[in-house]
Structures are given as C-alpha cells and as structure tokens.
A and B are shown apart, each in its own frame.
Chain A
Amino acid sequence: MNENSCCGTKNSVGPTGLQIQPFSSKQADDEVCCGTPAGPPSSPYEKPGYQIVRFVDGFMDMDSGLVPKVNTHLSLFDIAGSIMTRVGVNRNRYKISPGLYGIGNPTPDSPVLVTANYKLSFDTVRKELSGINAWLLVLDTHGINVWCAAGKGTFGTQELVKQVEASGLKQIVNHRKLVVPQLGATGISAHQVKKQCEFKVIWGPVRAADIGEFLNHDMKASVGMRRVTFSLPERLVLIPVEIYIGFKPVLLTMFLLFLLSGIGSDFFSFKNAWERGLIGISSLVGGVIAGAVLTPVFLQNLPGRAFSIKGAVAGIVTAIVVVLWYWKDTIWLETIGLMLFVITISSYLAMNFTGSTPFTSPTGVEKEMRKAIPLQAFALIVAAISWIGAGFL
C-alpha cells in the first residue's frame, strides 16, 4: 500500500544477503537537479501495479512461492493508522492482504499463528511476536477483527482450510499444528479443520499480549489467558467509535430540537428556536455523555444488570446537573421535558453499548430491548410534548 522507494527510508526490501549498490559512488557536489538526495533504487521484488507495504522487510523464496517477511516494530504510520481507526475514520478499509507471512527467521519447525486481516489485529500480533520466529497465516475476514469475524463466520473453518491450501503450508512446515486465537472458536471448528486439512488447531490465548508466554510454555495457556476481560482501558478505547457512530443521528436530532424549540404561541419564533434550542442541544450532549461515556466507564459501579437501566441511572445524574444548570432559564414543564430527554438518550445509547461488550448474550439483549424500547419511546414522546407545550405557556 505504501511505497518504500521514497526518500529517507532505508532500502529495506532488498533480497536477503544482497547488498544493493548505490547508483553513483560519489555524491554530486552541486545538487542542481533537486534539493533532496534520491531514494534507494527499486527493489527487485517490486512489480508494476503492486506496492510493497511498509511492514515487509524482504521476501523468503519458498518452493510454493515468495513469503513476505514482516518486521515486528510499529512505525509512526501504523500508530497513526490505529488512532484513525479507533476514532472511527477509515475503519472499514484498514485491512491487509490475506496469506502467509514470516516473522523473524522462521524454519519448518516454527509455529504457525492464525489471525485476521484487520490491520489492528495484525499489528498487535506482529508486535507481540518480536524476537520470535513464526509463521503468520492471515485469513480474509474483510478487515474485521477475529472476534467479530468469527461471529460472522468469515474467520471460519472454510476460510482457514482455504488459506492453508493456498499458502502451500504443508510444504513449508513439517508439523501439522495451527495456533488459532481462542476467540476464533466461534467461527472455527477444530475437529472440522483437522478432518479437512490434517492440521490440529491449538487454541491460543484470548489476548495477543499473552502470545509470547503461551509459546514459551509449550503452548499451554493459563486459566487467565483463556478468559475475556473488559477492563477500563478496554472499555475506554471503544468510546470514540461509539460517539462517531452516533454522530449523524445526533446532528439530525440537533436540527429537530431547534425546530421544536421555536414552536409556540407566536406560531414559530426564531428567537425561541435559538435560545431554547441551545438548551435542548446541551441536554442532548449531556445524554450522549451519560450513555456513551459515563456508562462504559462506570459499567461495573452502575446498578442493574440491564444496560438500559445502567444508562438510565447515569442519565438521571446527568439530567439533574443539566436541570440545575438551566434552573433560571426554564419553567417546570421544560424541566420535566429535559429530565426525560436526557435519561432516555442515555438509556438508549447504553443499551447500544451491549454490542461492544464481550459478555452480553443475544437472548438477554433481546429480552431487555423488548421491555426498554417501549418505555424509552413513551418517555421521549412525553418529553417532546412537555417541551413543545412549554412554548405555549
């Protein structure tokens, strides 16, 4: 994806052992032509229409074809890309080519690890493998991480068997073992893989951070490595995406709030639309913060099992702050409207956070939704009526 032949970067894509000679042995004294010195010459592995990606350091010439060698440090580009992905920009296009990659100096005895072609998953795994010689088999999950792709079936038995065959893995390694991340078990059936391509699936740890220890301990995972966690940092990284997804509906709601706020005894007042609209928008922002930030952060401390209840509680606290803040600018009917509005927004967004957690069952979520959605809808209608009604008082 990124060209490596540009200025400044070292000529890292030369074939192993081959020293690429500089074009001219003497640097011209007067660089009339252009200000910056020329970059390294093109690698013999470059082909028209292809680009060698930054994380590839060279290629191994195997009987089954070339296997790219991947480096294990994350460059500024990788880190910038991760941040962009985390905040929601370019989420869907952040993928790498599926297939077999080499890490370190892998031999036929080296372990084979399986991962998804979501660049963040790939980056995390290769970073954890620094100092280890291994093969990395990347499945085409359409740029989705292992856990989600397994749920959708793209990180699945068929795709794994396909990549094993396509990469010629049987000729490359002399063992028949694949280390698959445990969360991939939702899509991959170990006994089916064994039946279809002879490889035995060894379930690796849930988190990439444990890979090194897992490999050092004879591929044995401790109980801790086998359990999903949902720690504060794990929840925090999800918040930007939650907000990014809600961005369009929030903008639309802001527009509606201006409209509703203008309606009143003068039919429509732009002054009211602006003044009351701003109060409405602050409450909306309060509701979003309560549901998409406070609820994930205080997930463990908020009462209730259902997320809609946790969100409603976070919403009540926030609503009190909002109402007190605008105490002098609002009348009692508006106070009721604001309270209900903030609580409903928070409750609804919190309920949507179920999709980001690794412990909510679909049966449970559906049960919760069947109770919560009618209540949320009712509260929202009452809120709207109070808000509009106050315009006539």
Chain B
Amino acid sequence: MKDFRYLEGVATLVLNEEKCIGCGECEIVCPHGVFILDNKKAAVIDKDGCMECGACALNCPVSAIEVTPGVGCAAYIIQTWVKRKDSTACGGGAVCC
C-alpha cells in the first residue's frame, strides 16, 4: 500500500530467482504489489510493502518464495509471549484477529 507504510527493512521475504518458473501467481495474489513479473521471472520491487501474509509462498508452485507468515497483531503477539503458541486465539478487531 503506497499511502500506508510500516517499519522498513524487517520483512522476512526471500525470493529464489533460480527456482522461479515465471508463472506469475505471486504477482496476482500479493495484495501489496510486492512482486512484478519481468521477463518471465518474478522480481521483488517493494520488499518494505510486504506484510508477511504468506500468500505468495503458499501459492508458488515451485516453492521459490520463503517468508515467515503470521498476523501483524500486537494482542496476538502478546499472547504468544505469555502462552504456548498453539493455545493462542485472536479476539480482536474486525479486519483481523
């Protein structure tokens, strides 16, 4: 999103261009336009726009993308600090958790 930017230089997104077969799926699913398909290869054009939702990695047919997916939600992260990860449940806002 161009009008809203969050912290820079933190996203865990990594693209392995060697593996990429240029299917274009990552460019379609990313809601922040992080990828562009250039000359039959995906390229990361806005890494700081990545919110680590994991859609691109899940939909890359050759596993050329790696990202640590999760929800960027403070209430949720506090719960993961105090409880075991699998017993956490989001209870917050309407957009997410």
Contact = CB atoms under 8 A, between A and B. Distances in A.
B97 to A, nearest CB: 5
A51 B32 CA distance: 42
Contacts of B43: none
Interface residues of A, number: 54
A299 B72 contact: no
A11 interface: no
5 contacts: A241-B94, A355-B74, A356-B96, A364-B11, A369-B77
B10 A226 contact: no
Given A151-B71, A226-B28, A237 B94 contact: yes
Interface of B: 1, 3-8, 10-12, 25, 28-29, 31-33, 49-56, 58-59, 61, 68-78, 90-97
A355 B6 contact: no
Interface stretch (A42-50, A165-173, A185-193): A185-193
Contact of B6 (A150, A227, A234, A305): A305
Contact of A366 (B6, B50, B55, B77): B77
Contact of B52 (A185, A242, A361): A361
A300 B7 CA distance: 14
Contacts of A237: 94
A360 B92 contact: no
A364 B72 contact: yes
Given A147-B95, A230-B1, A355 B58 contact: no
A368 B93 contact: no
Contacts of B3: 230, 300
B72 A185 contact: no
Contact of B61 (A148, A191, A203, A356): A191
Nearest to A245: B92
B50 A305 contact: no
A189 B63 CA distance: 12
Interface in A238-258: 238, 241-242, 245
Nearest to A365: B72
A190 B6 contact: no
B75 A151 contact: no
Contacts of B91: 245
B71 to A, nearest CB: 5
Nearest to A299: B4
Nearest to A91: B94
